[in-house]
Amino acid sequence: MTPLRRLLSVAFITVVMAINGTAMAWAHAVREAADPAPDSALSTGPARVSATFNEQLQPTFAAMTVVGPDGNLWSDGTPRVQGSVVSVGLRPLGPTGSYAVNYRVTSADGHVVSGSWSFILTAAGTGAPGPSAAPPVSDRGLPVWPFVAGAAALIAAGAVWAQRRRG
Ligand SMILES: [Cu+2]
């Protein structure tokens, strides 16, 4: 391989890795269980909802919300991380329908993992909701542009270098 080709392939791999950033989750915490179970049908809500992961979570910066079919927040208080489990309190529930549990936690390796699941309330409760839900927690992965910029710089440097050699 010529040096330019080598540089180009390094740049290409860098870009591919950046684009696949979220797919590199194989090294991160993976959710193994959820309570209530995904798509389960309940006649009354539990006191808390929780998600269990395959490894310890970092206790800071966890987010977990429960958003009801009315678009309101039905989770109560701040999320709690204990070992590999993140949980949040739940108000007495209200309207029947689908309640979405959204979470964002930090893996032991420092990577952020987010996701959601939902369960169904089959009998209306008498609870009162919290405030209207904020937009769901999003996966704040690494931005892609520094990788792309870095790859572009590598390509440019490689081209200049190849030119100098030739001349
Ligand atoms: Cu990771």
Residues 23-46 have pLDDT tens digits of 454 568 999 999 999 999 999 999
Centre of ligand 1 to C-alpha 69, Å, is 33
Centre of ligand 1 to C-alpha 24, Å, is 7
Q: Check whether 131 has a pLDDT greater than 60.
A: yes
Residue 54 to residues 57, 82, 110, 112, 141, Cα–Cα distance (Å):
9, 13, 15, 14, 20
Cα(110)–Cα(112) distance, integer angstroms: 7
Centre of ligand 1 to C-alpha 81, Å, is 18
- Beta strand pairing status for 48-53 and 85-90? antiparallel
Centre of ligand 1 to C-alpha 109, Å, is 5
Between residues 19 and 69, the one the model is more confident about: 69
**What pTM did the predictor assign?**
0.66
- Quick one: average pLDDT of 123-132? 94
**HEC assignment per residue over 74-128:** CEEEEEEEECCEEEEEECCCCCCEEEEEEEEEEECCCCEEEEEEEEEECCCCCCC
Centre of ligand 1 to C-alpha 163, Å, is 39
pLDDT confidence band for 152 (50 / 70 / 90): confident
pLDDT confidence band for 148 (50 / 70 / 90): low
What's the N-to-C CA distance of the chain in angstroms?
20
Per-residue confidence (pLDDT) for residue 14, from 0 to 100: 57
Centre of ligand 1 to C-alpha 111, Å, is 5
Per-residue confidence (pLDDT) for residue 12, from 0 to 100: 61
- pLDDT per residue over 74-127, tens digit each? 999 999 999 999 999 999 999 999 999 999 999 988 999 999 999 999 999 999
Centre of ligand 1 to C-alpha 34, Å, is 21
Per-residue confidence (pLDDT) for residue 119, from 0 to 100: 98
Write out the residues surrounding ion ligand 1, Cβ under 5 A: 27-28, 109, 111
Centre of ligand 1 to C-alpha 9, Å, is 24
Helices (H) and strands (E) in the chain, counts: 2, 8
**What DSSP state is assigned to residue 136?**
P
Centre of ligand 1 to C-alpha 11, Å, is 22
Task: Give the residue carrying structure tokens 């959601």.
Answer: 116
Q: Check whether 155 has a pLDDT greater than 80.
A: no
